[in-house]
């Protein structure tokens, strides 16, 4: 079966064939994918998932790929991008937003409206769906504090609502991460009315701190490792002498050791090798098992 031909017949969304993942990941690295499909709507997503399930086709739902490391080999399946799921409805302090909407864009929009709770997300380049999936967070806050409920597509292709208590939010994880066959379609957030000027001051201050402390001038996917209890991953990596450590054009940032950056032409496999090398070395020298926040996609 020719997957692309069948997808074109299905007509469920826009198709990017032989997608170069360098153009779609924040690492600007990786090989090609057979295709990226952006379904037009929920009905078409269900149709697409039925086709995938009936033909046992490999697939993955992606957002802005701001936490993914693709290998340099072909991803021989379908990547599903929910770009069309970008509706936004705000009533008082309740925000209902599509899974494909930019988290950073939403954070700035609601902050300018004097709604507090998403200040932490103003520098996170993910989508709403991706941020719920991994419980994105920063500055001692995360999505788990503000998500009231999410609309999801179940593995049985039914659309249901999961509430905050169903979503099992913990540090950088959620029910959806442990059950990736559930697809986030939309999230409802509850924010707190606040003072726009104060909210924007917090965002400005944090942005300035990020510029000073993080290698934002290079492609990366943010923090590589979770901070261990009562410790910092960056500090441990610095202590093993790995600041500036390179494999090809993949390097540990001199500015912040918990960032792996692409110096120009890093391979996806080199980024992966470097991350696994750091993990191994910290375990050997410090006796601490670092947990990788980013995901390797083969």
Cite the active site residues. 172, 223, 293
Q: CA-to-CA distance for 274 and 270, rounded, in angstroms? A: 6
- Contact present, 39 and 21 (Cβ < 8 Å): no
Provide the strand spans (E) within the chain: 13-20, 32-39, 59-62, 68-70, 75-81, 88-91, 94-98, 115-116, 137-138, 141-142, 147-153, 159-163, 183-190, 192-193, 246-247, 250-252, 260-262, 295-297
The DSSP secondary-structure symbol of 121 reads G
Neighbours of 240 (CB within 10 A): 16
Q: CA-to-CA distance for 262 and 144, rounded, in angstroms? A: 31
Q: Phi-psi bin for 11: left (phi > 0), alpha (psi -120 to 50), beta?
A: left
Q: CA-to-CA distance for 75 and 102, rounded, in angstroms? A: 25
Q: CA-to-CA distance for 288 and 8, rounded, in angstroms? A: 49
Q: Which residues contact 74 (CB under 8 A, 6 or more apart)?
A: 31, 32, 33, 34
């Amino acid at each position: 079966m020719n997957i692309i031909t069948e997808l074109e017949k299905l007509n469920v969304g826009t198709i990017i064939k032989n997608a170069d993942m360098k153009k779609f990941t924040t690492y600007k690295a990786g090989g090609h994918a057979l295709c990226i499909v952006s379904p037009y709507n929920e009905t078409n997503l269900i149709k697409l998932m039925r086709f995938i399930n009936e033909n046992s086709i490999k697939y993955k739902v992606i957002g802005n790929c701001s936490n993914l490391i693709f290998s340099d080999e072909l991803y021989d399946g379908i990547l599903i991008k929910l770009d069309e799921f970008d509706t936004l409805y705000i009533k008082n302090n309740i925000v209902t937003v599509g899974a494909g909407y930019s988290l950073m864009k939403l954070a700035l929009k609601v902050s300018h409206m004097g709604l507090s709770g998403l200040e932490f997300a103003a520098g996170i380049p993910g989508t709403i769906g991706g941020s719920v999936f991994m419980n994105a967070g920063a500055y001692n806050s995360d999505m788990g504090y503000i998500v009231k409920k999410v609309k999801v597509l179940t593995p049985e292709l039914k659309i249901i609502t999961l509430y905050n208590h169903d979503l099992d939010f913990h540090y950088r994880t959620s029910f959806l991460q442990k059950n990736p066959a559930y697809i986030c379609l939309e999230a409802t957030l509850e924010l707190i009315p606040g003072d726009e000027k104060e909210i924007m001051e917090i965002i400005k201050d944090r942005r300035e701190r990020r510029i000073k402390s993080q290698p934002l001038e290079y492609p990366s996917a943010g923090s590589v490792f979770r901070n261990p209890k009562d410790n910092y991953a960056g500090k441990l990596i610095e202590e093993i002498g790995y600041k500036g450590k390179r494999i090809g054009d993949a390097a540990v940032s001199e500015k912040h050791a918990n960032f792996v950056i692409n110096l120009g032409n890093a391979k996806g496999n080199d980024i992966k090798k470097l991350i696994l090398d750091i993990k191994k070395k910290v375990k050997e020298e410090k006796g601490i098992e670092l947990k990788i926040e980013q995901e390797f996609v083969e």
